[in-house]
Structure 1
């Protein structure tokens, strides 16, 4: 089946999603996220994505009825846990490794968060998709790192700084571009962890 065949309107009674291959669907989803990053959410249109991916607008509207649904689906399709697998046996080293990992994707994801802007506040589905894709998995993984540190006896379970570590890590990712005009890369985040997060936890 060719891509043109895949995008022809379905006969009545045919499943709305049956005519696209998973690869072609992911191409659309990646294209909308790329345009959100480059142009901002408000500037993205179904027409623009259709031109970029060389398909008809009707293909996109059949698959995703509105732009918020389209972007939400794209966010969910790229759900990743970038801190997964970090377990060096040392809480301080795990936090350094998490900082380095966060720095590797900070530019791309921070740009996406900034580009979504007010749309996330206005659209509950978009807000939920953003949290499911980019926020909750990373926070859960970071809390897992902290929990293992507690289990090893490196930090007390009732240490008052523990609850603020995710906010510290994610906050600096968002605020550095605003304050200094640069993304928080791996080197910057490791220095931040060593100067701020580890001392707050009583670690060196």
Structure 2
């Protein structure tokens, strides 16, 4: 039996085309992220993704040469700004809304960050993909909230706490599971905003 025949009919079809459909590509991405959240990055394999999506390994390797390349592509494809469109008219209101939005998906985000773990520190491509997918969109939105607040005169542009807002809010999503074994859900993050972040900014809870 030839190697082509051993790989099955899908390999023959794949060899005749340079691209897979966007829908099929998303299936691969969803499978990679789901399996990574469930078992971690190190346990994730191209074989496992192929089995769950009913394709040959050669299909995956033809499109993405390595596991890190596939994971990086999956992260970027699932880029979803959580804070986009938030504009309540006040910085306090924006931060509360951002806290609720972050809490709504903190479970998936925390699992993804924990799954990537040390791999992110060792692979530059994964670092860039993670920042592009989960960090930069939210960072940009938070900076825009702050810019609007400064323009409205709510807070001084040189307030020393402003630069720490993104690190404080986004950092809690990562830290609570480690410290308490629980996700930073919406209620927790809103309380954090009201009792820690707003006072640090000189804003009242009633703002």
TM-score normalised by length of structure 2 = 0.92
Q: Distance in 1 between matches of 2:35 and 2:99?
A: 27
Residue 8 of structure 1 is matched in structure 2 by 12
Task: Specify every segment of 5 or more residues in structure 1 that has no aligned partner in the other structure, as ranges.
Answer: none
Residue 176 of structure 2 is matched in structure 1 by 176
**Residue 89 (structure 2) pairs with residue 95 (structure 1):** no
Residues 30-81 of structure 1: per-residue CA shift (max 9 Å, x gap): 1000011000000000001011001111111111110000000000001111
Residue 111 of structure 1 is matched in structure 2 by 111
Residues 137-191 of structure 1: per-residue CA shift (max 9 Å, x gap): 1011011011111111100000000000001001111110011110000000000
Residue 52 of structure 2 is matched in structure 1 by 52
**How far apart are 1:7 and its partner, in Å?**
5.2
Q: Distance in 2 between matches of 1:5 and 1:27?
A: 19
**How far apart are 1:16 and its partner, in Å?**
2.8
Contact 2:41 2:115 in 1 (8 A): yes
Residue 196 of structure 1 is matched in structure 2 by 196
Task: Specify every segment of 5 or more residues in structure 2 that has no aligned partner in the other structure, as ranges.
Answer: 1-7
Residue 4 of structure 2 is matched in structure 1 by none
Residues 98-157 of structure 1: per-residue CA shift (max 9 Å, x gap): 000000011101110010000001100011000000001101101101111111110000
User: What secondary structure sits across from 1:184 in the alignment?
Assistant: coil
Q: Distance in 2 between matches of 1:10 and 1:85?
A: 40
Residue 86 of structure 1 is matched in structure 2 by 86
Structure 1: which 4+ aligned runs deviate by more than 6 Å?
Answer: none
Residue 151 of structure 1 is matched in structure 2 by 151
User: What secondary structure sits across from 1:110 in the alignment?
Assistant: helix
Q: Distance in 2 between matches of 1:76 and 1:201?
A: 33
Residue 131 of structure 1 is matched in structure 2 by 131
Contact 1:68 1:126 in 2 (8 A): yes
Residue 70 of structure 1 is matched in structure 2 by 70
Calculate the aligned-residue CA RMSD, in Å: 1.4
Residue 167 of structure 2 is matched in structure 1 by 167
**How far apart are 1:8 and its partner, in Å?**
3.2
User: What secondary structure sits across from 1:194 in the alignment?
Assistant: helix
Q: Distance in 1 between matches of 2:133 and 2:17?
A: 26
Q: Distance in 2 between matches of 1:55 and 1:160?
A: 53
User: What secondary structure sits across from 1:8 in the alignment?
Assistant: helix
Residue 30 of structure 1 is matched in structure 2 by 30
